[in-house]
Amino acid sequence: MKNSRRNFLAGGASAVAAGVVGASLGGCKGDNGESSAGQGTAKAMIGACGLACSVCPLMKAGKCKGCASGKDATDEMVEKKGCPVLKCAAMKKLDYCGSCKMFTQCKKLIGKPYDQAFMDMMAKKMA
């Protein structure tokens, strides 16, 4: 278990930080505002939780099917996915949970997909 977490943090920490703290990147757009999809690269799917789906331990375990930002989520998507994180972000009209003032204390995120130690570190950095 520790090796899995260590590999996740080593390989995905920058993606997590970019998705959570740098939510202004919009998940799919480059610095010039153009989508990377037309440039021959795969479009990164970022969930409302702020994680890139490609590094999400819940998605890898088959417990998450991927989603969208809270602003992009439709009522049908929120209902079909049944994800409390997506539902909350959509209700608050937030792109990503990192924009929420309760992010580091959110019980919907702690332990699934974020570890308490990571949230504690983020709380210190965001203070």
* Long-range contacts of the stretch 105-111 (C-beta < 8 A, 24+): 108/84, 109/49, 109/85
Domain count, the chain: 1
**Per-residue pLDDT for 95 more than 90?**
yes
Parent domain of 119? 2-126
The 8-class DSSP code of residue 110 comes to B
Q: Which residues pair with 86 in a beta bridge?
A: none
- Are 69 and 28 in contact, with CB atoms under 8 Å apart? no
pLDDT, mean of residues 19-44: 41
Q: CA end-to-end span of the chain, whole Å?
A: 30
The 8-class DSSP code of residue 114 comes to B
Question: pLDDT tens for residues 37-85?
Answer: 334 445 678 899 998 988 888 888 888 888 888 999 999 989 888 889 9
pLDDT averaged over every residue in the chain: 74
pLDDT, mean of residues 16-34: 37
Tokens of 127: 């203070």
